[in-house]
Amino acid sequence: MKIGVPKEIKNNENRVGITPAGVFELVKHHHTVYIQATAGEGSGFFDADYEAVGAEILPTIGEVYAQSDMIVKVKEPIEEEYPLVRDNQVIFTYFHFASSEALTRAMLKSNAVCIAYETVAESDGSLPLLIPMSEVAGRMAIQQGAKYLEKPIKGRGVLLGGVPGVPPGKVLILGAGTVGIQAAKMAAGLGAHVTILDINMKRLRYVNDIMPSHVVTEFSSEYNIRKHIKTHDLIIGGVLIPGAKAPNLITRDMLGEMRPGTVIVDVAVDQGGCIETTTPTTHEAPTYIIDDVVHYCVANMPGAVPYTSTVALTNVTLPYVLLLAGKGWEKACKEHAALAKGVNIVNGELVYEGIAEAFGWETMVQ
Ligand SMILES: NC(=O)c1ccc[n+]([C@@H]2O[C@H](COP(=O)([O-])OP(=O)(O)OC[C@H]3O[C@@H](n4cnc5c(N)ncnc54)[C@H](O)[C@@H]3O)[C@@H](O)[C@H]2O)c1
């Protein structure tokens, strides 16, 4: 199969759809891989790295779309790319269709086959192509939180690990899912005292089993949250209720209970956030302050570490890319139920119920 990887043109997106290691595997399986010139540079991969493993570098995005049977990328196509998408072309990327009717209509019109990373789902409901980005964001949350606790950037002036003779900082983590556990691991590694809350006892038992004793689990309740926000320096929001807006676990009035310079990193911002005062921010202006509490609410945290994010993403997408390229999308999806759940649009028909519901559309092909 001919597989094309365009350069991401969405604002500030430095990730790329495939690493040289991924190209190596595809070429080994006798596929042709076209990489748009400089597509990997933002992630630290150069044209020569791709050429060395057998990719062909094409100068323009138009040529990549025109020559490829399947496009593998990171973000959804943006308006300039809509006319480039062809009949029957497979597009494998993050789409998040429910958040854009314009994108959905454009892809329906293109007659392409759109397979969305975010809806590829295992039988237990887990989303294998979303997990790595949560892992990145969870670990990054502590790195960012530690930085914003510094006084010159309006934090409390607390070093998370403490020093001999000075107790460590305290980190409160809401949610013991992928984000929460990765954040706990990083915070514990720095020597901070960690309190992690969840409503799922299975998750809390797991955390309790695997983490050191300075990571303490507690059931998530308003009472416990109100108690802990008074004494913790850094608060990480990592809750998720699948398919719904995140619950407001910290309300505006609760900011007054926190000490000045407390830092909140609301990773769940992309689902509306679990703090009432959360508003999405960007890497250019990541924080704002309300009632002396620093808020960090960047909606695409992994975008700041494109090398790590690109490698983590290719690690999980490559097996599916190999399947799609080797068997063709129809056979691959018939044989792999998890991949089949990723199919959102087929040749002008919407086949994913959640998207039709999001727009209040009645017609949907099964
Ligand atoms: N900002 C970013 O760049 C970025 C990147 C990746 C993920 N995210 C977001 O981070 C959030 C968490 O993702 P995840 O992969 O860790 O999800 P997950 O499903 O693995 O974990 C969510 C956890 O929240 C828990 N939870 C639900 N209600 C709760 C409550 N009231 N109190 C405490 N815990 C509660 C669940 O039991 C679950 O353990 C999601 O909204 C995800 O979209 C953001």
pLDDT digits (tens, 9 = 90+) for 123-133: 998 999 999 99
- Tally of CA atoms within 13 A in the half-sphere of 354 that contains its CB: 15
Annotated binding-site positions:
15, 75, 134, 198, 203, 220, 239-240, 267-270, 298-301
Is residue 294 scored above 50 in pLDDT? yes
Q: Whose CA is nearest to atom 24 of ligand 1?
A: 239
Beta carbon of 300 within 6 Å of any ligand 1 atom: yes
* pLDDT at res. 309: 97
CATH of domain 131-304: 3.40.50.720
Give 356's pLDDT tier (boundaries 50, 70, 90).
confident
Is residue 298 scored above 60 in pLDDT? yes
Q: How high is the mean pLDDT of the chain?
A: 95
Give 365's pLDDT tier (boundaries 50, 70, 90).
low
Q: Which atom of ligand 1 is nearest to the CA of 174?
A: 33
Q: Per the structure block, which two tokens stand in for 95?
A: 């789409």
Question: Once rounded to an integer, what is the mean pLDDT over residues 304-330?
Answer: 97
Give 66's pLDDT tier (boundaries 50, 70, 90).
very high
Which percentage of the chain shows pLDDT scores above 70? 99
pLDDT digits (tens, 9 = 90+) for 202-258: 999 999 999 999 999 999 999 999 999 999 999 999 999 876 788 999 999 999 999
Q: What's the gap in Å between 268 CA and the centre of ligand 1?
A: 6
* pLDDT at res. 22: 98
Is residue 366 scored above 60 in pLDDT? no
* pLDDT at res. 245: 80
- Point out the catalytic residue in the list 47, 49, 96, 292: 96
Q: What b/e sequence results for 8-31 when a residue is b if at least 16 CB atoms lie within 10 Å of its CB, and e otherwise?
A: beeeebbbbbbbbebbbbbeeeeb
pTM metric for this prediction: 0.92
- Point out the catalytic residue in the list 69, 233, 266, 270: 270
- The CATH superfamily of 2-120+307-359 is NAD(P)-binding Rossmann-like Domain (3.40.50.720)
Q: What's the gap in Å between 238 CA and the centre of ligand 1?
A: 4
Question: Once rounded to an integer, what is the mean pLDDT over residues 310-327?
Answer: 98
Least confident of 41-45, 63-67, 269-273: 269-273
270 is known as an active-site residue: yes
Question: Once rounded to an integer, what is the mean pLDDT over residues 177-193?
Answer: 98
96 is known as an active-site residue: yes
Question: Once rounded to an integer, what is the mean pLDDT over residues 190-194?
Answer: 98
Is residue 364 scored above 70 in pLDDT? no
d(CA 144, CA 303): 13
* pLDDT at res. 160: 97
Per domain, the residue ranges of the chain are: 2-120+307-359, 131-304
pLDDT digits (tens, 9 = 90+) for 130-147: 999 999 999 999 999 999
| Residue from 174, 267, 281 to probe ligand 1 pocket by mutation (most atoms less than 8 Å from CB) | 267
pLDDT digits (tens, 9 = 90+) for 13-27: 999 999 999 999 999
Beta carbon of 270 within 6 Å of any ligand 1 atom: yes
Least confident of 160-164, 339-343, 357-361: 357-361
Is residue 310 scored above 80 in pLDDT? yes
* pLDDT at res. 120: 96
Beta carbon of 220 within 6 Å of any ligand 1 atom: yes
Higher-confidence position of 191 and 354? 191
